Amino acid sequence: MAASRYRRFLRLCEEWPVEETKQQRDLGSFLRQKVAQAFREGENTPIPDPEACDQMYESLVRIHTNFYKNKYPRLKDTTFTGVTVEDCRTILATDILRQMEDRKKGTWKRLREKFSAKKPEDDLK
């Protein structure tokens, strides 16, 4: 029975998309890592709680197939602020978040980092 569970999880991992814009924060990548950890021995991995395993799989399938999004459709595709889904994806991209982190730094910290970094030209003198 463990073999069929393992194959179901592998199939789910194959179907789950990986978002390149969310480096180290992508649910698809996280899922792949957790499945690899949980099934270290592949099909021969003993499963201590088969019910919990099946329940986890069904929950992930519902997320992957947008079960609740389809069951409870929204009237508008925006939030209360008027931000669209595409805007949210853009804002949550890793590159944008890095830029925002750089902006959060104070002026003094940015100046200190700028001038404390050793320049390659200084090593030649």
For 61, residues 6+ apart whose C-beta sits below 8 A from its C-beta are 12, 67
Alpha helices in the chain (DSSP H): 2-15, 27-38, 50-64, 67-71, 85-91, 94-104, 107-116, 120-124
| Predicted model pTM | 0.63
Q: What is the pLDDT of residue 111?
A: 73
Q: Which residue has the tokens 């949550």?
A: 92
Q: Which residue has the tokens 């925006």?
A: 78
Confidence category of residue 2, pLDDT binned at 50, 70, 90: confident
Mean residue pLDDT of the chain comes to 81
- Are residues 101 and 95 in contact, defined by beta-carbon separation less than 8 angstroms? no
Q: What is the pLDDT of residue 58?
A: 96
pLDDT, tens digit (0-9, with 9 covering 90-100), for 47-106: 889 899 999 999 999 999 999 999 998 887 777 777 787 887 777 776 766 776 666 677
Flag whether pLDDT at 109 surpasses 80: no
**Domain limits of the chain?**
1-72, 75-117
Q: What is the pLDDT of residue 122?
A: 52
